[in-house]
Amino acid sequence: MSILVIAEHDNSNLKPATLNTIAAGSEISPSVHLLVAGNSCQSVADECSAVEGVEKVLLADDVAYENQLAESIANLIKSASSDYTHILAPATTFGKNILPRLSALLDVQQISEIIEIISEDTFKRPIYAGSCIATVKSNDPIKVITVRATAFDPVNTSGGSATVDSISAEGLSDLSSFVGEEIAKTDRPELTAASIVISGGRGMQSGDNFHLLETIADKLGAAVGASRAAVDAGFVPNDYQVGQTGKIVAPDLYIAVGISGAIQHLAGMKDSKVIVAINKDEDAPIFQVADYGLVADLFDALPELSEKL
């Protein structure tokens, strides 16, 4: 019984969420294969062959896979699927885009964003933005699964010695084509991948005041987020939003500043390992989930925090 993990990469480097997904796969079976589909991505395949726990790397190197558009990649995975009992991808925008398409091509009901593996066919996953945890058993012959990266510790990037087998392009589609990409140019980590996140709420009072958070973020190597209230007030763009309708994060440290702690927001961050809340209202619900609460005016606390770091 072998498992296929779909590698997420940018044609030069493997994306870290793949390592967490391999870890999930290794819990199901010792035989984990990795599919690398891209263009001129031999270096990614080589990187993958050294990853702990990977038995074999399948490399589909074709100009058509440059941008990993869902139509062609789903067809490719389908053509390689017959040898596998489970097909896993990280529950990132990459995996979420491609896997349900594959799942329908295979006539299989996908299990999304698992956080725990109970057995080879039974998994735990959050529903209602994490308000409840469902235990779900799949009766399909092939299990198609996306994995919430934050729920599994990544495997090591070294120690493996997998073979790399080239496979040919299958089922290329011309339904969609790539036009362009605008990747936010910031030295800060991505919100969903950061080990530290500092977020601001309505208490920040303006978008300009977010520089107080940014200064601290840069000292900590953290990402900057926001509550929906701060986004709705126009302080920051929507892609900062942490919460049920925004991004779900689970960093080692989450610092909530001037955030009251609406259900909506808690749903997006309450799986963080350590939560710090800074708020001048001592009755704010955020303190009920915070490991460390500081009742203070953020305009006093933030400059002091920045200075002492």
Partner 1 sequence: MKIVVPIKRVVDYNVKVRPLGDQSDVDLNNVKMSMNPFCEIAIEEAVRLKEAGTATEVIAVTVGKKDSQEQLRTALALGADKAILIECEELLEPLSIAKVLSKVIEEEDPKLVILGKQAIDGDNNQTGQMLAALLNYAQATFASKVIIEDDVAVVTREIDGGLQTIKIKLPAIVTTDLRLNEPRYASLPNIMKAKKKELDIRPIEDLEIDVSSRTELLSVELPPERQAGIKVESVEELLNKLKTEAKVIS
Contacts to partner 1 from residues 185-214, by CB under 8 A = 190, 192-193, 196
Q: Kindly tell me which residue out of 74, 114, 147, 213 binds partner 1, with binding defined by CB under 8 A.
A: 74
Going by C-beta distance under 8 Å and a sequence separation of 6 or more, which residues neighbour residue 273?
Answer: 250, 251, 252, 253
Which CB atom, from 82 or from 175, has the smaller least distance to partner 1?
Answer: 175
Q: Kindly tell me which residue out of 65, 152, 235, 287 binds partner 1, with binding defined by CB under 8 A.
A: 287
- Between CA 130 and CA 306, with CA 220 as vertex, the angle to 5 degrees is 110
Cα 19 to Cα 133: distance, rounded to the nearest angstrom: 24
Whether the Cβ atoms of residue 189 and residue 155 lie closer than 8 Å to each other: no
Cα 98 to Cα 105: distance, rounded to the nearest angstrom: 11
Kindly identify the residues of this chain, within the stretch 150-169, that bind partner 1 according to CB under 8 A: none
Going by C-beta distance under 8 Å and a sequence separation of 6 or more, which residues neighbour residue 258?
Answer: 200, 201, 202, 203, 204, 205, 278, 279, 298
- Span from 18-26, 49-57, 158-166, 298-306 in contact with partner 1 (CB under 8 A): 298-306
Which CB atom, from 165 or from 304, has the smaller least distance to partner 1?
Answer: 304
Kindly identify the residues of this chain, within the stretch 245-264, that bind partner 1 according to CB under 8 A: 245-246, 252-253, 263-264
Cα 149 to Cα 39: distance, rounded to the nearest angstrom: 25
Hey, what are 66's tokens?
Answer: 């440059």
> Under rule CB under 8 A, how many of the chain's residues touch partner 1?
91
Supply the minimum distance, in Å, between the C-beta of residue 141 and partner 1.
10
- Ordered DSSP codes for 76-97: HHHHHGGGEEEEEEESSHHHHH
Which CB atom, from 45 or from 248, has the smaller least distance to partner 1?
Answer: 248
73: helix, strand or coil: helix
Q: Does 82 bind partner 1 (CB under 8 A)?
A: no
Task: Give, as one character, the DSSP assignment of residue 208.
Answer: G
Q: Does 129 bind partner 1 (CB under 8 A)?
A: yes
Q: Does 172 bind partner 1 (CB under 8 A)?
A: no
Which CB atom, from 33 or from 270, has the smaller least distance to partner 1?
Answer: 270
Kindly identify the residues of this chain, within the stretch 1-60, that bind partner 1 according to CB under 8 A: none
Which CB atom, from 184 or from 208, has the smaller least distance to partner 1?
Answer: 184
